[in-house]
Amino acid sequence: QLQLQESGPGLVKPSETLSLTCTVSGGSISSSTHFWGWIRQPPGKGLEWIGSISYSGSTYYNPSLKSRVTISVDTSKNQFSLKVSSVTAADTAVYHCARQDFYSYDMDVWGTGTTVTV
Amino acid sequence: QTVVTQEPAFSVSPGGTVTLTCGLNSGSVSTSYYPSWYQQTPGQAPRTLICNTNTRSSGVPDRFSGSILGNKAALTITGAQADDECDYYCVLYMGSGLWVFGGGTKLTVL
């Protein structure tokens, strides 16, 4: 059974870079039929798609965050990562990683999420 | 800017039927947007209910169904139960590798 687990610092200082990693277990990140994405949820607010990466490394970003976000993949470690630069208090949120289906475009497997406070 | 609209809140009686909708600030939602629906209880990760407009995810009871109603995507819950009380989100795929979440609907069962 595929599982995703987020990891990274829970506290980041303003203006610094937030870095998170999602480790995929029970399956390969090199699947040609999936994207791998990041979604966040500020306290008391709704979900926001941050960006996604394909198995080949093609990246797709939310236009509102594009200038500050980088997503990368490490197939040797079965991981993908998120970096958000120049963070402010508005970046405080629970960050989830998720697998996205290439054909139905949904987020079909979710990580439990990790809280990041700026 | 694309805005995906959902009712902020909705209430349903136990055993009743409720339809939540997912629209666009400009234009109509069609199957081409591959609407999907997620259920989230407080402090938990979202759970996928419906993908590709009307396909139930594994393990999702058939009380939950997805469709296109008029110019919106819709999630219908029949025979509402107390543990259906939580938040529901839709997501639309806008093409070109861009996804947009709706603002979510808080469902109360009372």
User: Hey, how many other C-beta atoms are within 10 angstroms of the C-beta on A117?
Assistant: 12
Paired sense of beta strands B9-12 and B105-109, if any: parallel
From chain A, the residues in CB contact with B98 under 8 A are 60, 62-63
**Residues B55-110: tens digit of each pLDDT:** 999 999 999 999 999 999 999 999 999 999 999 999 999 999 999 999 999 999 99
Residues paired with residue B4 on neighbouring β-strands, in sequence order:
B24, B102
Cβ neighbours of residue B48 closer than 8 Å, sequence gap 6 or more: A106, A107, A108, A110, B36, B37, B38, B57, B60
Nearest CA in chain B to A6: B45
Contacts of A103 in chain B (CB under 8 A): 52
pLDDT for A66-95, tens place per residue? 999 999 999 999 999 999 999 999 999 999
Q: Is the pLDDT of residue B1 over 90?
A: no
* A36 neighbors A99 (Cβ within 8 angstroms): yes
Q: Do A108 and B48 count as a contact with CB atoms less than 8 A apart?
A: yes
Q: pLDDT at position A55, please?
A: 83
User: What does the alpha-carbon distance between residue B7 and residue B20 come to, in Å, rounded to a whole number?
Assistant: 7
State pLDDT tens for residues B28-63.
999 999 999 999 999 999 999 999 999 999 999 999
Half-sphere CA count of A56, side-chain side, radius 13 A: 4
